[in-house]
Amino acid sequence: MSILTLILIAIAISLGILEISMSAGKALSRIRFWQAVKIAFILVLLQTPVFLIGWVSGNKFEDLIHSYDRWVPLALLSALGIKMIFESLRHFNNKGKIRSLSVTMLPGVFLAILIDALLVGISFAFFSQKLLLTLLVVGLLTFLATIAGILWGKAPQSKLSFHTKILGGFLLIGICVNLLLKLPPIN
């Protein structure tokens, strides 16, 4: 996987986190910048070990599914892209605005983000990619998207009709199609 593909996948995942963070910012309208930084830092701290668990699990299973190893990451990332699109469509109200999340909903939302991190970790195990670089890119973009989303969402004048998660889902699917077209033929 090229560095560009890694960055594009990280951007796609971050677009989903951006939308969720916008909803959180709308719910937590009194949140300050440093509180947003703290939430972003905690999310990255939670996401990184889950990503690593996925990566280690994917490496363990790679030997078992060696003949299918080219399809597993593409299927997982495509499924994640489709999931992001459907979640986003369900998350918007009929006026095209993001619904506000209640504070009690945030742990469940963060759990969903962690499940996504697990799937991405499993997928990345099948690509020959440097783990530290992957963690840095995904972690940094997650951190920045969380802060930006919370601050953007809390602004009372902000128009929250930007479908970032849908864009991220289509970006993931597009990357998978591109990777699929680059695969060598099966013998």
Model pLDDT, residue 140: 94
Distances (CA, A) of 30 to 26, 27, 142, 155: 9, 9, 22, 10
Tokens encoding 21: 């963070």
Q: Is the pTM of this model over 0.85?
A: no
Residue 96 region by backbone torsions, left for phi larger than 0, else alpha for psi between -120 and 50, else beta: left
- Residue pair 17/168 in contact by the 8 Å Cβ criterion: no
Least confident of 56-65, 105-114, 138-147: 105-114
Tokens encoding 158: 């902000």
If 0-12 CB within 10 Å is exposed, 13-18 middle and 19+ buried, where does residue 20 land? buried
Strand partners, 98: 92
- For residues 67 and 166, the model is more confident at 166
User: If you average pLDDT over residues 19-48, what whole number do you get?
Assistant: 84
Give the Cα separation of 30 and 150 in Å (integer): 10
95-128, pLDDT tens digit by residue? 555 555 566 666 777 777 788 888 888 888 877 6
Least confident of 61-75, 102-116, 156-170: 156-170
- For residues 64 and 174, the model is more confident at 174
The DSSP code sequence of 9-53 is HHHHHHHHHHHHHHHHHHHTTT--HHHHHHHHHHHHHHHHHHHHH
